[in-house]
Structure 1
Amino acid sequence: MRTTTAPGDALGVLETAALLRELTAGLISAADFDEALAQLVRTCRAAVPGVTWCSVTILQAGEPASVAASDEPIRALDDVQYGDDGPAITAIRERDPVFVPDLAGSGRWPRWTARALALGVHGVVSAPVDIDDQVIGSINLYARRPGAFRDRQQLTAMLLAEHAGLLLAAVRGRVRADRAQPQPVAPGDEEVVGHALGVIMTQRGCPAPEAREVLRGASRALSIPLAELARRLVDSVARHHPG
């Protein structure tokens, strides 16, 4: 999408560098993907002039996965888009930014717009975010005042979306790698893990190394700590075979 930028709307080099540095620092330090989304919302809301609220809409494998929002009413507004078209879903579907400086004068998304205006939302910018082959989304900036958004905010949203996509992909990759690492077992948990390995060996007729890989694989797939999964397995066997 081509935009015409007035001189007063141009992004300064130092301002842009500071914004991207803040975004990078916040996202790479996030413990998981949801925390990274929350940090992205906080950064966008605080750093972009004219923004009253901010949200990030995420779709995974084509289905709604999550919404991070600066305020609960905005989260609910984004949820409406899963059943009705709206700027976030439009931006994701068309892979092009959506820019509406005054919703009251727009005829797009009638049901969504009515909900937005009732919440005091009068301007919106949604920019698509490409994360990886499975996950896409959009950054959504909302303004309380009509006309608060100009080309400056649209360009900033596009820049944030492009940079955030790379960072969020890195966070997802790091989380997957962390889950794939063998989990250490505390000394006090070694006995229950040993019992669980015995159960697996008996059920599968396999040696201990293979049983350990089965337990580790299940732990990663279910995102349950190894010792906790072992305890659940042992407890389940005890319930079904008392005595």
Structure 2
Amino acid sequence: MPSQADGASLGVLETAALLRELTAGMVASDDFDDALDHLAQTTRHALPGIAWSSVTLLRAGEPASVAASDPSVKDLDELQYGADGPGMTAIRRREIVLSEELASEQRWPEWTPAALARGVHAVLSAPVDIDDHVIGSINFYAADAGALTPAQQLTAMLLAEHAGLLLAAVRDRARQAALTAEIDDALTYGEVISQAIGIVMTQRRCAPGQALDVLRTAAEALSIPLPDVAERLVASVERDRDG
């Protein structure tokens, strides 16, 4: 990779090459966790001075998963779920968070000592919007204080926005694949599930996957097995028809 004039940020060609590498690996994946791992490994080389990188996610407001270029920072990211850290701050505020020198950082009193103990002396976190249910941050860690600067924030923001779009696409593919598998599994319960799916499809004018999702939501809300929900629905429709 060509050297930078000031070492502060990537040039246009380097950024384009990084985005191509990121895109190629993620569009080839149908597994969301694999895509996260590729993102963490690729962004390790995103900015001069970075020693490690990670991805922190929240799903429906709850801790979801962490992917990291190194196990030590994965543990560090998981610590953020219990003790506030730069990634969680970026997620909460929806803005870039930078600490050029963690030794003098006051914002995260529990997280910062753990970071310093792992050799992290600077951090830059950028929020990632994936969809209505999943949000997160990409976190860049440096071993040297001052290695991450405000000049690198634009590149970090660009990477985060691009990664969010790619992760949303992977999540959609994974969700559709999982839904198909769920339909197949549901049909193995027997004819009553098939009948219930057909009823919901007719009532709501929706696809089989959406109909199954309606049944599953009802089962969770009522705290009863899916087959029982299906049997109740079929029985109710038959009573209305006979009446």
Which TM class, normalised by the smaller chain length?
0.7 to 0.9
Deviation at 1:211, TM superposition (A): 8.0
Aligned length: 202
TM-score normalised according to structure 1 size: 0.73
Counterpart Cα distance in 2 of 1:48 and 1:26: 19
Give the equivalent residue in structure 2 for 1:22.
21
The 2-side partners of 1:155 and 1:212 are apart by 48
Aligned to 1:58: 57
Q: CA deviation at 1:127?
A: 0.4
Q: What residue is the counterpart of 2:48 in the other structure? A: 49
Shift, 1:73, TM fit: 1.6
RMSD between superposed Cα atoms in Å:
3.1
The answer to whether the Cα contact below 8 Å between 1:11 and 1:152 also exists between their aligned partners in 2 is: no
Whether the 8 Å contact between 2:30 and 2:173 is mirrored in structure 1 is no
SS in structure 2 at match of 1:85: coil
Deviation at 1:155, TM superposition (A): 2.1
User: Aligned residue for 2:94?
Assistant: 95
For residue 195 of structure 2, what is the aligned residue in structure 1? Answer: 210
Amino acid at match of 1:47: A
Aligned to 1:40: 39
Aligned to 2:156: 157
Distance 1:120 1:209, change over 3 A: closer
Runs of at least 5 residues in structure 1 that lack an aligned partner in the other structure = 1-6, 186-192, 222-232, 234-243
Q: CA deviation at 1:48?
A: 2.4
- Shift, 1:69, TM fit: 1.1
Match of 1:170 in 2: 169
Q: Summarize deviations over 1:44-95 as a string: whole Å, max 9, x none.
A: 0033221111110000000000011112221111111111111011000000
Q: Percent same amino acid among aligned pairs?
A: 57
**2:10 and 2:47 in contact (8 A); partners too:** no
The answer as to whether partners of 2:10 and 2:48 remain within 8 angstroms in 1 is no
Give the whole-Å Cα distance in 2 for the aligned partners of 1:10 and 1:72.
Answer: 26
Shift of 1:177: 2.1
Structure 2 residue matching 1:163: 3-state secondary structure: helix
What letter matches 2:56 in structure 1? Answer: T
Match of 1:110, SS? coil
For 1:72, the equivalent position in structure 2 comes to 71
Letter in 1 for 2:35: A
Structure 1, residues 107-131: CA drift from partner, whole Å, max 9, x if none? 2211111111111100000000000
| Unmatched runs of 5 consecutive residues or more in structure 2 | 200-208, 217-226, 228-243
Q: CA deviation at 1:23?
A: 0.8
Letter in structure 2 aligned against 1:95: R
Of the structure 1 ranges 144-153 and 127-136, higher mean CA displacement relative to structure 2 is found in 144-153
